[in-house]
Amino acid sequence: MLSRVMTSALRATAALVLVASFSPTAASAETTDGYWQGVQKTGALRCGAAVAPPYVMRDPASGEYSGFFADLCREFAEVLKVKPEFVDTTWDNIVAGLQAGKWDVSLALNRTPARAMAVQFSVPAMEYQISLAYNKENPKIPTGAAAVADIDKADVTLAVMSGTAQDKAISSVVKTATILRLPTNDETRLAVVSRRADILVDASDTNQLFTQSNPDWAVALNPTPALARQGVAFGLPHQLSAADVEVINIFLEERVATGHIEELIRKAVDQVLKTGN
């Protein structure tokens, strides 16, 4: 008797499984495409690009994009077998544009908690910290300055690109100095060269390019304690599944492990030093 009851129960269970396998919900789960499959259907990977050498650069005459994150955009598009498409934006809009679906990924986005509430991130392509570049002859900058507090004075002006992670970081600690927020990379550098500003606040590797281009007078300081140490990654839409995020993470992890990204960075740095962009 018990055997017949168990056999009947097993048959009923098997019937339910068979019915479920043909239900609309189950069929949908099996056939639903991921995010990257959607990109493949459109035929293009749209990369939101805000200029910040050597990460992302744009030739004003041709509109051609370069820099190591632009190269990574092209390489990931090749993995997906689609065309790369660069969408010009600013650092003020690079998160909002991604949220609005204006592009598929944001290039060279710093991983911060505030941004993580709005978008997702890939694993970092590289790590960076924020530094302060200035004229070593500037009497406003004390000899032996080591911390942000040492330069946080009423007569000091700091130039920073508006809306960047650098802007958020310096704004959170400066109490007295003036912060001059400018829209582009070139304008922040010109402000320091022209002495409209005293200090350039930017990524340490970017400021290294600035000091190498102006070796006679420019120096850079990595503040202690660090102003920020963050990963630089692809910004991704918030709705991406873990499986979708894993696709781009594997892409990046392989290139980090093989030293390929270091090669791309060296190429971009050489381009900046050669052209002065």
pLDDT along the chain (277 residues), means of 10: 41 43 39 86 98 92 95 98 97 96 96 93 93 96 94 97 92 97 94 97 89 93 89 96 97 97 90 76
Specify whether the CB–CB gap between 237 and 98 falls below 8 A.
yes
Are 85 and 45 contacting, i.e. CB atoms less than 8 angstroms apart? Answer: yes
Residues 253 and 10: their CA atoms lie apart, in Å, by 46
Position 148 scores a pLDDT of: 96
Q: What per-residue confidence (pLDDT) applies to 277?
A: 55
pLDDT attached to residue 276: 64
- Which pLDDT value is given to residue 32? 61
Tokens for 259? Answer: 């030293």
- Grouping H, G, I as helix, E, B as strand and the rest as coil, residue 243 is helix
Residue-level pLDDT at 266? 87
pLDDT at 205: 83
Using alpha carbons, list the distances in angstroms from residue 58 to 105, 208, 272: 17, 20, 11
DSSP state at residue 56: B
pLDDT at 229: 83
DSSP H helical ranges for the chain:
2-21, 24-31, 35-42, 68-80, 94-99, 113-116, 148-151, 165-173, 185-193, 204-213, 242-257, 260-275
Residue 179 and residue 158 in contact, taking contact as beta carbons nearer than 8 Å: yes
pLDDT of residue 29: 38
Q: Please name the residues in contact with 124: beta carbons below 8 A apart, sequence gap of 6 or more.
A: 111, 231, 232, 233, 252
Give me the pLDDT at residue 5, please.
Answer: 39
Query: Which has the closest alpha carbon to 126: 112, 114, 109?
Result: 109
My answer on whether omega of the bond before 225 falls inside 30° of 0, hence cis, is yes
